[in-house]
Amino acid sequence: MAKALDISTKGKVISYRYVAATTQGKVVKGTIKATNEVAAERLLIGQGYNPIRLEVAPSMFSLEEALPTLFKVKPRDVIVFSRQLATLIRSGISLLPALEILQGQVATSRAFRKTLGSIVDDIRGGSAFSQAIAKHPKAFSDIYCRTIAVGEQSGNLETVLNRMADYLEKQGAIAKKIGGALTYPMMVLGVGVVVVAILMTVVMPQLLGMFTAMNVELPLPTRILIAITNVLTGYPIYFLVAGALMVAIVLWLVKQPSGRRLLDRVRLTAPIIGPPTLMGELARFSRTTSVLISAGLNLQEIMELMPQSSNNKVIQAALNQVNEGLLLGGGLSEPMSRIAIFPPLLVQMVVVGEETNTLDFTLGVVADFYETTAEEKTSAMVGMIGPLSTIGIALLVGFIAISVIMPMYTLTGAFG
């Protein structure tokens, strides 16, 4: 029985080929990924194997490793998998046969079939379902794995799978709505920029050359347009280099902790994009906490996992502060009330939930409210971005038109 195992560490991951013996004395072969040989041996021992031989696997070009974004497991695959697995379990099929059915019939993507194959092998080897999926963090988040572990312990795996499917579906729906709403204004802005660039670099040089050859005094807007056109057409390499350098500097700053925090803070506080972004983050926090409480996790475990639910560094820092306050005995509402990023409505609803022991229900209500608010504010943001981008492009095109029309009147007067 061959296996392809994986672990997540901060170092460079290396593939090893191994030969090992099971507790029954059966010899197995396979590959394993680890940062070093010691880590690989520990992982094998943790799986109940006795390593016999371990060597570095020869490196081969892999299209999946070269282009990981094209071969990663999509969230939709996990949602469908969760619902199908819950249905099979409810029908009376045990976990391993259900996973084998899903591997052969439901998993459509190559990456997910490979992931399910590894999970099936691990469960055959005696691993729990939550342990098997935890080896694939790119497909199953830590929140998902911990929730499944609680479902296994409580014997309520079917319900937990359905709740996680609902949770992932809601999170994906919010992101899809925001992305879809921004598509049209971004397309308008992009087309406008391309049109203006073509006018400035292809059309204008020929037209303005005629004006300069007439040896008459040109209006100020025309002289400005001629200067801009000359710079753009005379030094294109410098502009390309400067643009590439600026992009590289911005990307470097974003990768720095301080730069990333600054960018994330701007996303939350900027006049137009800030409100829908903040409402979306609050909705995600409320929904995730509600789902995890309903699944059976205690509040301390939930708050340890919550920073992983957001990519915003400011939100992560705030959730870590709440977790620290919770560990000190302050409950959930008390440390939240000291952090400005949590609005009074959310804090008050948490207080009510703690006092009535209905925190999962109250946070679910709050999540519905913030999801609706985020959608409304996103629509309002798109309603502002569209006209603003159109006005900006219109002003720029109008300036070009005036700069071309005004010298025509001057030339007409000169000929007259």
Q: Please give the pLDDT value at position 30.
A: 79
Could you identify the residue written with the tokens 């998902």?
Answer: 144
% pLDDT > 70, the chain: 86
Structure tokens at 255: 């990768």
pLDDT digits (tens, 9 = 90+) for 82-114: 898 999 998 888 888 888 888 776 556 777 888
Q: Is the pLDDT of residue 326 over 70?
A: yes
Q: Is the pLDDT of residue 52 over 90?
A: no
Pick the CATH number of 277-373 from 1.20.81.30, 1.10.10.60, 2.70.240.10, 3.40.50.1000: 1.20.81.30
**Which residues share a beta bridge with 28?**
20
Q: Which residue has the higher pLDDT, 412 or 304?
A: 304
Residue 301 confidence class, pLDDT cut points 50, 70, 90: confident
Nearest Cα neighbor of 286 from 329, 315, 262 is: 315
DSSP assignment of 370-408 equals: HHHHHHHHHHHHHHHHHHHHHHHHHHHHHHHHHHHHHHH
- pTM of model > 0.75: no
Alpha helices in 296-343 (DSSP H): 299-305, 313-327, 333-337
Q: Please give the pLDDT value at position 342.
A: 92
pLDDT digits (tens, 9 = 90+) for 200-247: 777 777 776 676 666 667 778 878 877 877 777 777 788 788 888 998
Q: Please give the pLDDT value at position 11.
A: 43
Name the architecture of domain 71-169: Up-down Bundle (1.20)
Q: Please give the pLDDT value at position 111.
A: 78
**In the chain, where the domains are located:** 4-60, 71-169, 277-373
Q: Is the pLDDT of residue 196 over 50?
A: yes
pLDDT digits (tens, 9 = 90+) for 243-281: 889 988 888 887 888 888 888 888 888 887 888 888 888
> What fold characterizes domain 4-60?
Ubiquitin-like (UB roll) (3.10.20)
Q: Please give the pLDDT value at position 412.
A: 66
From CA 269, how far away is CA 109, in angstroms rounded? Answer: 39
Q: Please give the pLDDT value at position 16.
A: 80
Q: Please give the pLDDT value at position 6.
A: 44
From CA 105, how far away is CA 88, in angstroms rounded? Answer: 13
Q: Is the pLDDT of residue 290 over 60?
A: yes
Q: Please give the pLDDT value at position 59.
A: 57
Q: Is the pLDDT of residue 4 over 50?
A: no
Q: Is the pLDDT of residue 2 over 80?
A: no
Residue 3 confidence class, pLDDT cut points 50, 70, 90: very low
Q: Are 377 and 176 in contact (CB under 8 A)?
A: no
Spatial CB neighbours of 200, under 8 Å, sequence gap ≥ 6? 228, 229, 232, 400
φ and ψ at residue 56, rounded to 5 degrees: -70, 130
Q: Please give the pLDDT value at position 175.
A: 67
Structure tokens at 293: 């409480």
Strand 4-5 relative to strand 27-34: parallel, antiparallel, unpaired?
parallel
Structure tokens at 230: 């000359």
Q: Which residue has the higher pLDDT, 282 or 197?
A: 282
pLDDT digits (tens, 9 = 90+) for 345-362: 999 999 999 999 899 899
Q: Please give the pLDDT value at position 369.
A: 92
- How many residues comprise the chain? 416
Q: Please give the pLDDT value at position 410.
A: 65
Domain 4-60 and domain 71-169, same fold? Reply is no
55-59, 72-76, 346-350, 393-397: least confidently modelled range: 55-59
The helix or strand, by DSSP H or E, that contains position 349, with its residue range, turns out to be helix 344-356
Residues 360-390 as b or e (16 or more Cβ within 10 Å = b) = eebbbebbebbbebbbebbeebbeebbeebe
DSSP assignment of 130-163 equals: HHHHHT-TTTS-HHHHHHHHHHHHHT-HHHHHHH
Structure tokens at 189: 């802005």
% pLDDT > 90, the chain: 8
